[in-house]
């Protein structure tokens, strides 16, 4: 039962699970391999807030014993995964990128985490994130580094999951998206991620940023892997009354379908307005591949989202202020300046202003729902920029118009709650990843995953991995 560690860490989650079930690998062997890689690369990449090595090895041993006894829990059984550090875990603190929660040890798992454990997966640890899942890291946190190039943006706030997946430090991850926090890291690190319909996965046991926009989602290296994890964690939850009542589905069975006759909408004016030419090229290439597979490309006009994108920030601010009311302003000195500023802005907004924001949000959601009813999927960028260097990102805080551009294609669908799938779509001239997204109507995750899987059957972008990790390790040594 030997395996090449470098080859093993980049296997699909589903293949690893199958090989463990066939006893060609053991869960302990796979877990040990990933823990050793984490030991080697974490001092450089910093994708884990904490590694749970002992409990992971204990869980792997239990998985092996169950499988030897003929008890098979499903495709995730024995497979090492990780979760963003805003999910409650009964055996490790949940800090959420903050100082105020650093010693918080919940007595129960988040529902999504509990379902991963029930499916037999191995929890390697908690993945790093921005403070409170907003846009900046607390000064006590060293941000994760992009494994494709350390001087490039790794995305926010689910940067830890994006980096860990790209570097072969886990096979899948739970994450969250409030303004783009699954989709940006997926694009920046060339991995696959799903922001499901709001409420499709329970939020019970997750630290909140803006609850009406917080989406629990899944990140992995392929659509098939995302589908398997989603099937394990989605569905109703008595502990979360806002979770949708629709039962989970067999997404893995759906994704084998072809996409002949699937209607994919594109607004060429919207997806090219202030969008880098390299991003447009990736969209055009994706469109052509979908057309070659038999999809119908439909020209449409997406609702004007300019005001909606501007409204995202004050809505988020008010909800963040409520989410942090137990610790702010009582422990204001423990907050970083960016999250503190957001909470203060939320506390200052009047009830009348907030109601106007919500009325505009309801109107915008209706317009987007009507637009999506005319097609099966919408094709759009994730980032309007070519891959961002940290140097370029450093001036963004001084230029609000750049922040609005960054949110242009992600924030609208957090406001409306519609599901979106991010796929690796190519690279720029410097070899840095560029992704794109597909958006669908409520609860159309199956359609998203079917189209994404079809795209990944005829493309290989998701099969490419960073080649500079050894150089980064040598530089660190």
Catalytic residue list: 84, 157, 181
CB 80 within 8 A of CB 31: yes
Q: If we measure between CA atoms, which residue out of 240, 243, 218 comes closest to residue 229?
A: 218
The alpha carbon dihedral of 253, 216, 10, 76 has a sign of negative
DSSP 193-233: EEE-STTSS--TTB--S-TTT-EEEEEESSHHHHHHHHHHH
Q: Phi and psi dihedrals of 315, rounded to 5?
A: -65, -45
The alpha carbon of 266 is separated from its chain's Cα centroid by a whole number of angstroms, namely 23
**How many CB atoms within 10 Å of residue 114?**
21
Secondary element (H or E) of residue 254 = helix 251-254
Both structure tokens of 154: 């790794």
241: which residues sit within 8 A by CB, 6+ positions away? none
Q: 424: which strand partners?
A: 435
Both structure tokens of 86: 């805003």
Both structure tokens of 424: 């690796």
CB 226 within 8 A of CB 219: yes
Q: If we measure between CA atoms, which residue out of 154, 188, 227 comes closest to residue 419?
A: 227
Secondary element (H or E) of residue 28 = helix 27-45
**For residue 430, how many C-alpha atoms fall within 13 Å in the half-sphere facing its CB?**
9
The alpha carbon of 321 is separated from its chain's Cα centroid by a whole number of angstroms, namely 24
Q: Phi and psi dihedrals of 177, rounded to 5?
A: -140, 120
Whose structure tokens read 């997404």? 251
CB 422 within 8 A of CB 175: no
């Amino acid at each position: 039962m030997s395996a090449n560690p470098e080859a093993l860490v980049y296997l699909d989650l589903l293949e690893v699970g199958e090989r463990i079930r066939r006893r060609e690998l053991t869960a302990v062997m796979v877990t040990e391999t990933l823990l050793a890689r984490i030991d080697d690369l974490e001092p450089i990449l910093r994708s884990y807030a904490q590694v749970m090595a002992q409990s992971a090895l204990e869980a792997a041993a239990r998985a092996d014993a169950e499988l030897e006894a003929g008890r098979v829990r499903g495709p995730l059984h024995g497979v090492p995964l990780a979760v963003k550090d805003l999910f409650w875990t009964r055996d490790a603190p949940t800090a959420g990128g903050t100082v105020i929660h650093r010693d918080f040890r919940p007595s129960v798992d988040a529902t999504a985490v509990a379902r991963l454990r029930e499916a037999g997966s191995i929890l390697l640890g908690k993945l790093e994130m921005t403070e409170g899942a907003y846009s900046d890291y607390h000064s006590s946190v060293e941000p994760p580094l992009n494994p494709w190039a350390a001087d490039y943006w790794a995305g926010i706030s689910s940067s830890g999951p994006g980096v860990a997946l790209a570097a072969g430090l886990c096979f899948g991850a739970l994450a969250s998206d409030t303004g783009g926090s699954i989709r940006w890291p997926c694009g920046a690190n060339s991995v696959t991620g799903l922001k499901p319909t709001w409420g499709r996965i329970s939020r019970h046991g997750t630290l909140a940023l803006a609850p009406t926009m917080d989406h629990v989602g899944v990140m992995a290296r392929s659509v098939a892997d995302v589908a398997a994890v989603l099937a394990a964690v989605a569905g109703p939850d008595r502990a979360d009354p806002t979770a949708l009542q629709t039962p989970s589905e067999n997404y893995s069975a759906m994704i084998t379908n072809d996409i002949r006759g699937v209607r994919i909408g594109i607004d060429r004016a919207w997806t090219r307005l202030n969008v880098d030419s390299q991003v447009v090229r990736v969209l055009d290439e994706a469109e052509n591949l979908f057309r070659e597979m038999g999809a119908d490309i439909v020209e449409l006009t997406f609702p004007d989202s300019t005001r909606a994108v501007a409204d995202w920030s004050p809505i988020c601010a008010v909800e963040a202020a409520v989410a942090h009311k137990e610790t702010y302003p009582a422990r204001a000195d423990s907050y970083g300046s960016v999250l503190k500023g957001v909470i203060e802005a939320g506390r200052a907004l009047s009830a009348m202003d907030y109601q106007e924001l919500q009325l505009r949000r309801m109107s915008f959601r209706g317009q987007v729902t009507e637009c999506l009813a005319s097609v099966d999927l919408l094709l759009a960028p994730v980032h309007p920029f070519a891959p961002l260097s940290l140097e370029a990102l450093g001036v963004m805080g001084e230029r609000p118009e750049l922040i609005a551009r960054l949110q242009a294609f992600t924030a609208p669908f957090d406001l409306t709650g519609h599901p979106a799938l991010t796929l690796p779509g190519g690279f720029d001239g410097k070899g840095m990843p560029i992704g794109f997204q597909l958006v669908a109507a409520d609860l159309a995750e199956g359609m998203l995953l079917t189209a994404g899987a079809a795209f990944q059957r005829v493309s290989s972008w998701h099969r490419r991995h960073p080649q500079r990790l050894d150089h980064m390790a040598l530089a660190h040594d």
